[in-house]
Amino acid sequence: MHHDVIVIGGSYAGMAAALQLARARRSVLVIDAGERRNRFASHSHGFLGQDGVPPGEIAANARRQLDVYPTLTWLEGRVEAATGPVDEFTVTTSGGGTHQGRRILLASGVADRLPAVEGLTERWGKAVFHCPYCHGYELGQGRIGIVGNGPMSIHQAELLTAWGDVTLLVNGAVELSQEDRSTLERRGVTIEEAPIDRIDGHADVATADGRRLSFAGLFTATRTSPSSSLAEAMGCALEETPMGIQVRTDAESKTSVTGVFACGDVARAPHSVSLAVGNGAMAGAQVHRSLLWPATLAPMQAEGGAR
């Protein structure tokens, strides 16, 4: 079957887009590998009407509602390749199956590169976080440690002072100018230079010089990049943000490749469920518009869209 749209990634952004398209009675194929970025967290916060709900529950509820639409097909799996010109895209899954579609919508999310600190990965989403709006409130204004991971850690330390008593654990990973130091001091941030040996307990930091610093929670500024190389392989232009690499899109969610759209974390920052859903809904409508008025498919300006 030749679908109007193939949505690659069926999480918050992809489902929000698919919902608009299915409600416009378009044939939509959603292919999803089931690895939502927030799968490490027990609860999702900050999404209106769903505050404190487990991430998987939000997704399962949305999925049930999507299942009602007869023109929507859901496929569990991973897309390995996507090729072809507009109106005749072919997508190949890891199982070897091929699917045809007139448009591609990438909603495949990003992956976080975590700092290499012993004990950190196991606590990701549980006691180590990156987004204060998502997980800051629950720390009850307690002690917060920032695990240094590049220049964004300075900004993160400043920001987190709104949620608790902050220590920046430099860990040899953040270069601090005299100006940075006085800014942080003014905000009441404690600067800890001793390298981190490991994290244990709930969020205890064992320093290389033998001390143990206990925190209500830890934050770290991760670097993100597209969780799949599909966009790059299709020739979509990428761009740098302070958080990492994303697919370049214009205000209509178009990438630099005609007929390929992108939405959610893979296409915009900052990142949250609300913003992914909002951007997904917009992208769904824009893809629909391109089916009704193919002239709007003209590739985005070389300068890229402001966002």
Interface residues with ligand FAD (CB under 6 A) are 8-14, 31-38, 40-41, 44-47, 78-79, 107-109, 112, 124-125, 131, 134, 227-228, 230, 264-265, 271-274, 276
Lay out the site mask for Mg ion across 7-36 (x = CB under 5 A, - = otherwise): ------x-----------------------
**Is residue 107 part of the contact set for Mg ion (CB under 5 A)?**
yes
Nearer to Mg ion, 59 or 266 (CB): 266
The CB-of-278 to Mg ion minimum distance in angstroms stands at 12
- Give the shortest CB-235-to-ligand FAD separation in angstroms: 16
Q: Which stretch binds Mg ion (CB under 5 A): 93-101, 235-243, 262-270, 293-301?
A: 262-270
Which residue of 266, 282, 283, 287 would you call a contact of Mg ion, by CB under 5 A? Answer: 266
Residue 284 binds Mg ion (CB under 5 A)? no
Q: How far apart are the first and last CA of the chain?
A: 35
147 with 168: CB under 8 angstroms? no
Q: Which is nearer to ligand FAD, 251 or 298 (CB)?
A: 251
Q: Could you tell which of ligand FAD, Mg ion, none binds residue 112, using a CB distance below 5 to 8 A set by kind?
A: ligand FAD
Residue 78 touches which of ligand FAD, Mg ion, none (CB < 5 to 8 A by kind)? Answer: ligand FAD
Question: What is the CB-side half-sphere exposure of residue 250 using CA atoms within 13 A?
Answer: 20
Q: Which of 47, 250, 265, 275 binds Mg ion (CB under 5 A)?
A: 265
Applying CB under 5 A, among 261, 264, 279, 288 the residue interacting with Mg ion is 264
Q: Say if residue 302 is exposed, middle or buried (CB neighbours under 10 Å; 0-12, 13-18, 19+).
A: exposed
Q: Which does 259 bind (CB under 5 to 8 A by kind): ligand FAD, Mg ion, none?
A: none
Based on CB atoms, which residue is closest to ligand FAD, 184 or 236? 236
> At closest approach, how far in Å is the CB of 45 from ligand FAD?
4
How many Cα neighbours within 13 Å face the side chain of 248? 19
CB of 281 to Mg ion, least distance (A): 13
The smaller minimum CB distance to Mg ion, of residues 32 and 265, is found at: 265
- 250 makes contact, choosing from Mg ion, ligand FAD, none, with CB < 5 to 8 Å by partner type, with none
Complex with Mg ion: residue 108 or 220, whichever CB lies closer: 108
Nearer to ligand FAD, 131 or 194 (CB): 131
- Provide CB contacts within 8 A for 287, sequence distance 6+: 5, 17, 21, 103, 105, 253, 261
Residue 99 · residue 90 · CB < 8 Å: yes
Tell me which residue of 285, 303, 302 sits closest to 105, measured CA to CA.
285
CB of 37 to Mg ion, least distance (A): 8
Residue 189 CB, nearest distance to Mg ion (Å)? 33
The residues of the shown chain that bind Mg ion, judged by CB under 5 A, are: 13, 107, 109, 264-266
